[in-house]
Each structure stands twice: as C-alpha cells, then as structure tokens.
Structure 1
Amino acid sequence: MYLGIDLGTSGVKVVILSERGELVAQASSPLNVSRPKPLWSEQDPTHWWQATNNAIAHIKAMHPEHLADVKAVGLSGQMHGATLLDANNQIIRPAILWNDGRSAAECENIEQREPKSREITGNIAMPGFTAPKLVWLEKHEPENFARVAKVLLPKDYLRLLMTGDFASDMSDSAGTLWLDVEKRSWSEKMLHATNMRVAQMPKLYEGTEVTGHLLADVAESWGMAQVPVVAGAGDNAAGAAGIGVINPHQAFLSLGTSGVYFVANPSFQPNPAGAVHAFCHCIPDTWHQMSVILSAASCLTWVTELTGAENEAALLSEVAELDFSKPGSVIFLPYLSGERTPHNDPNAKGVFFGLGLNTNRAELGRAVLEGVAFAFADGQQVLKDAGTQIDEVSVIGGGARSALWGKILASVLDMTLTYRDGGEVGPAFGAARLAQIGHSKVPASDICLPGKVKQTIAPDSQMQSYYIGQYEKFKQLYQALKGQF
C-alpha cells in the first residue's frame, strides 16, 4: 500500500493505493482561506496539519489495516505559498498563498535587481510566486523578515512535521522564482536579488527520491510503521503523475480552485513573455509548461452561492436545460482573484457583460462555464505560440465531473478531451504513485500509466460556430476594461 497526501487550498485529501495502483481508501478534511485585505490570501499552517491528521484519522477508523500496510508516503500540495519559520521552527505569520496578489510592485523590483531573472528561472516574476512575497515582507514587515530562518512550501511544512526534515522537490521549488529551472538547483543570483540565502532553503530532491522517514510519534499516531517519505511534487505535477502525463506532448486540464493547462516536455522550454510557466516535472530529466488561470471551479462555487442555488450540481442541471444551439447572451470574465496567463494582472476583476431583465440564474451559470473555457483558450494559445505540441488532453479535478463543462471546453479549445479513472482524485493519486516509485525503485513509466478511459468528449460543431465570435468578444472585453481595473 502507498499513501498519498495532497494539501490543497480548500482541503487536504488523503488516498491509499494498492500495489496494482487501485484506490482502496480516501478521506478529506476542509480548509478555509483568510482574506484580511484586498488582494491578500492567507492560511494558518497549523490548520494544514490539523486537517491532515483529521483525514488520516478518518481512514484509520475505517481501514486501519490499510494504513498498517503502507510502505511509503508521497506528498503533493498547493504551490508557491510562503511558510515562514524562525530559528526554533515556529511559524512567524500566516502563510501567504499562491493566489495572493499583494506583491506586484515587488515583482518589478526583483527583475530590476536581477536583469537575467527570466533567463535563469524561465518565468516572468508574478505575485503568486514565493520570492516576491519575501521582498514584500522585507519592506512591510521587516521585523518578521529578520526572523526568517527557513522558507517552506506548504506541503514541505507537512513534511517537516512528519519527518523532521527540511526538504523539497524540483517541481514545487520551480515555482518559487529562486530555482535555476534548467539546472534544477537553487540560484544564488535569484536568492541574492531577494536578500535571501541558500541556508534558508530546503534541500532539493527529485520527486521520486526519499527525503526521510516518519517520526516515531507520527507513525504511532497514524497507525503506521516508520516508512519512507518521498519528495513528491507540486499539485499540478503530481496530478500529471496521477493521470499518466509524463511523456512529451501529453497534456491535461485541471478544473480545481484554479485552472491549469499542463503539457509535459522533454526539455526546458520557457516562454515568459506569454506568462507561461516553465517548471521541472516531478520525474527526473523532464520539464513541463503550464498556463494558469487563478479561478476555475471556484467560479462555479461562487456563482452557485451568489444565486442561491442548492449546490453546484443543481445549478449545472439548470444550465443543461438551456438551448445550446445558439449562443448565450452573457459573457463572463473569470478574474475573481486576478489573472496569471496570459495577462499577469493581479488587479483584473470578474465581470458579467450582457445582463438584461430576463437574465436568470442558469444563464449566469452558463456564462461562468464558458468564461472559464475562454480563459483556458487564452492559455492554449500562448502555449502554441511557444511552439508547444499538444497531442492529447486529459481532464482532472473536481470540475471534471461535469460532462456539460467538458463539452463546452472541447468546443472552445477545438480539442477532444479524455476522462480517465483517477482524474477526480488528482494530485493525491499522483503523490501515492511517486511514493511507490521511490520505494520500489521501478521506472516511472511502469507506474505512471494513464488510467482507464471513462469517456471522451469531442467538440460540438454547432457550439464551435458561435464560440469563435464569443471568444473574440471575451478577449476584447478584457482589453477594453483592463485600464479600469
């Protein structure tokens, strides 16, 4: 058995896989995000540990025999978050998350201090990344900055409490803006540009390497042996491992809190001008590109609550009753938390355009599904502009449950989408697979196999005929309004 732990933004998910890769147990525990000021997004790291223990306790109550048989643990988690520890490993302040937009000015400052920043990291400096958060901290909370002994990404804080080790993997660390992504090592130049030191960084490992073992008290509490813990991955790379996207030109769409268009690459292929992320994959000697939209399935949750629908599924049922032989009257810009690819605009705002007296809840829901699809289309275009070849696209994440959304996405992107077993479990599934690779020492290609195809969704020609015009209007709306944001 292999245990995968995924620290997401909205909750911690834990899964156990059998030797044959079958899902035998899973549990989750929710998390909340604090937004004390405009553009801010924070969480208390102690809540991550509580949620992890709650999810493990649920599995222990239901399947103690499976936990006892676990041979290794893998970790995945939300990327970019700055978890700040003092010399006594105590938390200095709430963690600043990936969708926090406060450090736009600091991004410009970093690129001025290190003119080769984009060349070294392969990425444009964005407020979501970790390094700008520390520059912000130095300016606005200097007393806290002076106390920083270690900076850990969210999942790596869990690792510290699990094993006592300061360690991270290449894929997650690539999102800090401190990594030389091509060389897969910390960049002294980028650290210097933010007044940080290598000593404040965790030790780097490939995603399939063992970083330590469970501490005795943690193992006893969880009902496990002191098994090895592998480095794991950032949530997107782990999701790729979970669905078998480890070979060149394979891709997936992730419909989680954020939206990700992920493509595996055989080499380092940056395109910072298009705000494309170029990161290390969790498999050695492999890289990947991502276009990222900051609000995806979270838009559906938001409009469900806004309109008083019973739940997302109920709203989707209402949307499905609409006439999709013709275009909707409302267009939605899904920038509820600002936007990354391709705009790199933390000040971008969500917009409904085309409202009328007859606009109802279902039409707003439809506009949200289509607006997220159009944002993915923006991301697909900049990937292709970078010369990226995309042969097949799988879908993962909670939003993958909606076949209607899949039909909209396929039609907007002009791509057939593949839905596989394990896609809804996503990163936790991949984390468990990485644990198996690290423990058994078998090639990743033997473990990270694509799941059984559940369905494929092809573009609808009638929907495509009107989405072309609506997508153009979507792009024009952002350009017309960005000066007002």
Structure 2
Amino acid sequence: MSDGWILGLDLGTSGLRGVITDETGEIHAEAAAPLTDQSPTTWSAALSGVLLELKPHLSRVHHIIADATSSTVMLWDNGVSSPVLMYDDGRATQEYAAIRDQLPADSAAHGATSTLSKVLWLRNHCPVSSGTRIAHQVDWLNAQFLGFPPPTDWNNALKLGYDPIREQWPDVIEQLLSPLSPPKVVPSGTPLGSVQEAVQDTWGFPHQCTVHAGTTDSIAGFLAAGAQALGDAVSSLGTTLALKIVSERPIFSPSHGIYSHRLGRRWLAGGASNVGGGSLLEMFSLEQVRALSKRQPGPKRGIACYPLRGVGERFPEADAKKAGLWPDKHLPEAVRFQAIVEALVAIEKKGYERLHALGAPAPQRIFCVGGGCRNAMWQRLRSAQLPHVVAQTVERPPAWGVTRLLADEGP
C-alpha cells in the first residue's frame, strides 16, 4: 500500500481523534472532538466535527482505517441501535455464569465484561429480529463511510469468542449466540470497500478512497509507541497497568489473565492489571502525585503493598477475590508514595516474567505510554528494576498508530 494519504481514526472513551499521514508516517493534519457520552448520536457528532476540521486535506486521502475501544458493543438493526455497553461494563454476570463451563479454557470470551457476555445480555434484554447484527464500536465507525454493516477485524472479534489460531468461530460460540449470528471476520488492514458516494460528496473524499478493517485501541497504541519487532514490549502506565509484547507464538492463559492478538505475521501477547496510576490517586491528590513524583527515591524499605483500589485482579494472576494491601497511613507520605510505586514496578516486572515463562520472548525493548511515563520517580525505579527500558519513547496518538497497519513494511 503506497498510494495516497491515510486517515487514521481513534474512537475512544473520551473522544474521537483523526490523523492524516502519508505512507512514511509523516503527519499532515490532526483533529479531535470530545465525547460527552457513549452513543451513536454522540459518535456521529464527533465524527462530523473531526471531518470538518480535516476537510481541506481529505481530497488526498485514499485510505481510511480506524481503531476503537475493545469490547465496546451494541446490537444494530437497520440503523437502530441498542444501548451501548462499554468495555468495562460488568452487568452480564448471570449470562457469564450460564456459559462459563461451555467455553474453551483458553477463550478470551471468559468474564462478565467480555464482548460475548455483554452481547448475550443485550440479546436477553433488547428486541431481536432476523436483521439484528452484532456491532463493535469500530464496526459502527466503518459503516459510516461504507453505508453498510461491514465485517469486523480479528482483534475486535477476540473477546466475542473468535479463535484467532484456527481463524474461525468455534461451534459453541455460534450456538450460544443464536438466534444472532457472529460477524464475518477479516484480518486487520483488509479492504472492506469504497467510501460511499454521499460521504464523498459531503466531505470531498476521492472516488478511489478505500476503507480498511482496523483494530482495537490498545493495539493502535502499541503501534504508536514504535514497537513492532520481535521482543518489543509496551507498558501502558495509565489508570491501570497493561503490558503487551510481540511474540512468534500465541499465548492464552485465562488463569493469568493473558491472551493474544494477531499482529500481522506475529502475535501480541499480554494482559492488563487492575493496579496502575489510579492506585496513587487512592491515597494522594493529583497535586500531591505531581509533587512527590519529582522526589529522588529513598532507600527501599520492603513495605508489603499491592495497591488494588477494589476487589479482584486480572493479571499477572487472575484472582476475583484478591484484596488490596496498602502502606500504613501513619507512615510519612513520601514513604507511602514510594511503596506504591515500587509495588507497581514489581507487578510490571512479574507480568513480563510471567509472559516469558509461558513462552513469550524476553523483552528486548520496553516502550512506555500513558501518564505514568511523566512520573519521574516511577521511571527511575523502572530503570533500576526492568531490563532494556526505553525511556525516550516518542508518544504519538493511537490514530497515528493504526495507520501503521497499512504501511509498506508492517509488523
């Protein structure tokens, strides 16, 4: 793919962002619009705002590719949608309990927040007809350009129960979804069709503009960090801590909260903990975090700490009953702060060790994305404890990262 510019779109939890690049990755234009809620009406208004700002450049765009929040899903029937269930919506506890023992042990569809559990909840609580379709957030976005419900990509399909190794839907998933049908699945980057004429006329896209299957927001963020070689890893230090590493083989271990996405000819293995930057805000204000993070770390005191804000952990050990362990509140605030950061680094280190023990390569380069990258103490402690830390990660938006799926030399 080397002709024309690329429009990358990232539909997330707080906003929609668009980036126009050429095939080398140089950015020529950017735009963003906030989201006040999660609904197709709000998404549509944000999309119009982004396209309006980018309109002077759209005549040169020959390719469109998008990412969106993994496991955000709805039912869709002739343009009318059910409520949107977000990635972290956990209401489908009864639905998951009813299917848990029927799922393959290594399926990414385990859990009440999985796409499969949420779709079953929607099926049980919303009107369903012969024309009702399952639509991930990214499917809705692609349909705005195509004019028809498209196939989904193999990364967004994972938590609906798709088998990325055999590249097919297991029979049990089709049976559980009935009378709904699972969507057709294609590899990320696959051409889905041309931009419909009405959209061309409104926004000025050329007639030969192609829409491509995209991916999830986390994978777009991984690519935006610059990681793509075997052994490249990305630690996302946001509200929660998420790790991913490029592997030659897939790794699935639900008991450790680990699953794998396809990434070109390779795999992206990883997991997400429930601890992270949000743990610091449990004990400190944002102003305190900013001030304390600038301090030099003191001597390590070995204070026992596992800073879970609620009950339950996903990775590097899946334990629904695990409770948090916090530093004694009578300790000086600098000591408590460092103890929490040390615990976050230890959990990150254990996560990479767990992935390696299960067959992933040892990290060769660890890139960093998210707000934690700007926490100086966190970075100093990571540099002391983790191998091959890349401190000079260039932060680019996921909307740029998703365009790399169409680069001449993809992962």
Per the normalisation by structure 1, the TM-score is 0.73
Tell me which of 216, 228, 239 is aligned to 2:210. 228
Aligned counterparts, 1:25-424, within 5 A: 25-31=29-35, 43-60=38-55, 64=56, 66-86=57-77, 88-93=78-83, 95-114=84-103, 117-119=104-106, 121=107, 123=108, 125-139=110-124, 141=125, 143-144=126-127, 149-165=132-148, 166-177=150-161, 179-195=162-178, 197-198=180-181, 201-226=182-207, 227-281=209-263, 283=264, 285-294=265-274, 296-299=276-279, 302=281, 307=285, 309=287, 315-321=289-295, 323-327=297-301, 331=305, 333-336=307-310, 339-345=313-319, 352-356=326-330, 359-360=332-333, 366=338, 369-390=341-362, 391-412=364-385, 414-419=386-391, 422-424=394-396
* Higher deviation after alignment, 290-299 or 256-265: 290-299
Bigger proportion of residues as helix: 1
8 Å contact from structure 1 (residues 291, 380) kept in 2: no
Tell me the matched-pair count. Answer: 404
Q: How far did residue 331 of structure 1 move?
A: 4.0
Q: How far did residue 51 of structure 1 move?
A: 2.5
> Aligned partners of 1:308 and 1:265: how far apart in 2?
36
8 Å contact from structure 1 (residues 397, 424) kept in 2: no
Q: Tell me the amino acid that sits aligned with residue 70 of structure 1.
A: V
Q: How far did residue 5 of structure 1 move?
A: 0.7
8 Å contact from structure 2 (residues 258, 269) kept in 1: yes
> Aligned partners of 1:221 and 1:339: how far apart in 2?
47
Q: How far did residue 168 of structure 1 move?
A: 1.4
CA distance 1:322–1:294, change in 2 (3 Å): same
Q: Tell me the amino acid that sits aligned with residue 329 of structure 2.
A: L
Secondary structure of 2:81's match?
coil
CA distance 1:384–1:323, change in 2 (3 Å): closer
CA distance 1:151–1:398, change in 2 (3 Å): farther
Q: How far did residue 14 of structure 1 move?
A: 1.8
Identity, in percent, stands at 23
Provide Cα deviations, 1:197-240, integer angstroms capped at 9, x if missing partner. Answer: 43xx3332211211122233334444433411111111222233
Q: How far did residue 365 of structure 1 move?
A: 5.5
Provide Cα deviations, 1:90-125, integer angstroms capped at 9, x if missing partner. Answer: 1111x21222223344334323234xx125x3x471
8 Å contact from structure 2 (residues 367, 391) kept in 1: yes
> Aligned partners of 1:194 and 1:303: how far apart in 2?
39
> Aligned partners of 1:278 and 1:3: how far apart in 2?
27
Q: Which residue of 2 aligns with 1:468?
A: none
> Aligned partners of 2:206 and 2:240: how far apart in 1?
35
8 Å contact from structure 1 (residues 400, 423) kept in 2: no
> Aligned partners of 1:182 and 1:210: how far apart in 2?
21
> Aligned partners of 1:261 and 1:189: how far apart in 2?
30
8 Å contact from structure 1 (residues 211, 231) kept in 2: yes
Q: Tell me the amino acid that sits aligned with residue 81 of structure 1.
A: T
Provide Cα deviations, 1:347-397, integer angstroms capped at 9, x if missing partner. Answer: 7666644112x654x666655544443443343233123122122221223
Q: How far did residue 342 of structure 1 move?
A: 3.4
Q: Tell me the amino acid that sits aligned with residue 143 of structure 2.
A: L
Q: How far did residue 70 of structure 1 move?
A: 1.8
Unaligned runs of 5+ in 2: none
Q: Which residue of 2 aligns with 1:432?
A: 403
Provide Cα deviations, 1:290-309, integer angstroms capped at 9, x if missing partner. Answer: 11124534556x559x7263
Secondary structure of 1:202's match?
coil
Q: Which residue of 1 aligns with 2:20?
A: 16
